[in-house]
């Protein structure tokens, strides 16, 4: 077997051990179903917030102080206008009409001050010159009730019968939208960030197990440390892929699990190079983002001598991930600036940026070059991590950068 073949075999032995040791444990079930717990808490929180909002919303009214005929007409117009709001939470508060008293202005002020009901907007006076009182942050409701007055007057002149009968036909675009590329790009950057944030952090404790139970000496004697590090990266990546495959399958097969807006958002993505190639590149860049960050985390984590030190590393790890996401997202919105050039070549941000570019540009060759560039950096980061480990933990004087090892020669 060639040197490279041996290296690969040794790497896969370590990867297999790590994968099996992680997946075939009860703890993995907790890891796998963590999104359920997260979603449950989110749902509970959302329901609570919704209930609180609706509880307040039930007692909120916008009030028009108008005469009886106008009031009826206004209610009819209000019913028509509200059809434009698909989401009730976007619609103005329920309209109430009150008959005018002797002093409508005082009546309006009294309604605003009424503690038994929440009235942010009150309109009084003739509809062609209405007076609208509104509380701060109720500008939209004030605009709505002004428009209501306008439409009520227009309806009074033209009648309530429909004047137009539209024919609606749904069609799909054949060309990508102008904004579609940017939206797809941001989606790609965010999705890679989200997935690596969820999954890559666990790599930091990769070598800790072997250091703790002294197996590292066995591994170091039997296989090159490069194989140990690469094996650990691949093992944990395998766990991440299993996680994604499980939830991806569930989400796509059971549509109800996917939030309606999210599913519609994905359906609306129009990457410049087409969805199949974009999907392929997205997976490639996710892999590279995972490997690059994982290699750095693994190298740093291997230097830690206790669980406490590993826990301390979680904050800088999260910060690195957030900053790379920020850099990638910013660069995508300014693809011709120096920041984009930096994000393109800086190894840790390159997968984020290039995934975004995949959505905006149909050229394939830059992605081949980018993936190769990133793969080289994975190897460099692993080699640096190994070098530091060899010098710091194994106390070996050999801290030489091992290009030969990277190339499969010893």
Partner 1 sequence: MHDNLAISATGLVKKFSGRRVVDGVDIAVPTGMIYGVLGPNGAGKTTTLRMLLGIIEPDEGHRTLLGTDRPRSVSDRVGYLPEERGLYPAMKAREAIAFMGALRGLPLRTGRKRATELLETAGLGHAADDKIRKLSKGMAQLIQLLGSIVHQPELLVLDEPFSGLDPVNQERLEALILAERDRGATIVLSTHVMAHAERLCDRLAIIAKGRRRFEGTVAEARSLLPMQATYTPRNDDEHIADYLPAGAQHRGDGWRFTVPVEGSEQVLSKLIGAGYGISGLSIERPSLHDAFVKIVGRAALEDQA
Residues making contact with partner 1 (CB under 8 A): 1, 3, 6, 9-10, 13, 17, 21, 25, 209-210, 213-224, 390, 394-398, 410
Strands of 118-124's sheet, edge to edge?
94-98, 60-65, 118-124, 131-134
CB of 203 to partner 1, least distance (A): 18
The minimum distance between CB 220 and partner 1, in angstroms, equals 5
Closest CB to partner 1 among residues 21, 117: 21
Nearest distance, CB of residue 212 and partner 1, angstroms: 9
**Cβ atoms 108, 65 nearer than 8 A:** yes
Q: Which two tokens stand for residue 326?
A: 């920020």
14 vs 192, which CB is nearer to partner 1?
Answer: 14
The smaller minimum CB distance to partner 1, of residues 175 and 221, is found at 221
Least CB distance to partner 1 at residue 259 (A): 38
Beta bridge partners of 95: 62
For partner 1, the closer of residues 216 and 317 by Cβ is 216
With respect to partner 1, which residue has the nearer C-beta, 94 or 303?
Answer: 303
Q: Single out the residue of 175, 177, 192, 189 nearest to residue 240, CA to CA.
A: 192
Shortest Å distance, C-beta 304 to partner 1: 18
Q: How far apart are CA 204 and CA 213, in angstroms?
A: 17
Distance in Å, CB of 91 to partner 1, minimum? 57
Would you say the C-alpha torsion 145, 146, 149, 151 has a positive or negative sign?
negative
Residue 38 or 222 having the CB closest to partner 1: 222
Rounded CA-CA distance 298/305 in Å is: 13
The DSSP H or E segment spanning 63 is: strand 60-65
Helix then strand then coil, % of the chain, to nearest 5 = 70, 5, 25
Closest CA to 231 of 1, 52, 47, 6: 6
Q: 218 or 319, CB closer to partner 1?
A: 218
Angle at 265 between CA 349 and CA 180, to 5 degrees: 65
Our CB check for partner 1 shows the closer of 14 and 329 to be 14
The alpha carbon of 304 is separated from its chain's Cα centroid by a whole number of angstroms, namely: 31
- We find the least distance from the C-beta atom of residue 335 to partner 1, in angstroms, to be 46
Q: How many CA atoms lie within 13 A of 109 on its CB side?
A: 3
How many residues make up the chain in this entry? 410
Q: CB 37 → partner 1: shortest distance, Å?
A: 24
Element (H, E) at 76: helix 68-82
């Amino acid at each position: 077997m060639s040197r490279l073949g041996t290296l690969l075999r040794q790497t896969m032995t370590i990867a297999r051990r790590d994968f099996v040791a992680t997946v075939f444990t009860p703890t993995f079930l907790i890891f796998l179903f963590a999104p359920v717990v997260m979603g449950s808490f989110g749902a509970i929180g959302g329901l609570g917030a919704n209930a609180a909002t609706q509880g307040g919303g039930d007692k909120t009214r916008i009030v028009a102080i108008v005469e009886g005929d106008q009031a009826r007409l206004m209610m009819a117009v209000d019913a028509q206008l509200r059809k434009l709001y698909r989401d009730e939470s976007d619609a103005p508060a329920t309209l109430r009409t009150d008959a005018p008293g002797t002093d409508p202005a005082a009546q309006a002020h009294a309604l605003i001050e009424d503690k038994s009901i929440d009235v942010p907007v009150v309109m009084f006076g003739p509809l062609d010159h209405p007076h609208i009182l509104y509380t701060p942050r109720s500008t939209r409701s004030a605009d709505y009730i002004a428009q209501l007055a306008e439409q009520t007057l227009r309806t009074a002149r033209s009648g309530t019968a429909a004047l137009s009968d539209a024919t609606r036909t749904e069609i799909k675009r054949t060309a990508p939208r102008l904004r579609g590329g940017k939206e797809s790009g941001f989606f790609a950057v965010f999705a890679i960030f989200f997935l690596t944030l969820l999954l890559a952090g666990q790599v930091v404790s990769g070598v800790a197990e072997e250091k703790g139970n002294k197996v590292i000496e066995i591994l170091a004697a039997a296989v090159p440390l490069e194989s140990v590090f690469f094996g650990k990266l691949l093992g944990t990546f395998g766990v991440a892929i299993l996680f994604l495959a499980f939830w991806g399958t569930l989400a796509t097969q059971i549509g109800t699990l996917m939030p309606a807006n999210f599913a519609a958002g994905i359906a609306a993505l129009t990457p410049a190079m087409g969805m199949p190639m974009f999907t392929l590149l997205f997976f490639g860049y996710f892999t590279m983002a995972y490997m690059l960050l994982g290699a750095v985390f693994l190298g740093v984590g291997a230097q830690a001598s206790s669980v406490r030190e590993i826990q301390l590393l979680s904050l800088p790890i999260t910060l690195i991930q957030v900053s790379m996401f920020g850099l990638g997202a910013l660069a995508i919105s300014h693809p011709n600036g120096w920041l984009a050039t930096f994000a393109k070549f800086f190894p840790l941000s390159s997968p984020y940026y290039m995934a975004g570019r995949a959505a905006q540009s149909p050229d394939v060759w830059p992605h081949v070059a980018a993936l190769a560039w990133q793969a080289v950096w994975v190897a460099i980061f692993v080699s640096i991590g190994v070098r530091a480990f060899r010098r710091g933990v194994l106390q070996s004087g050999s801290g030489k950068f091992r290009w030969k090892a990277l190339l499969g020669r010893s």
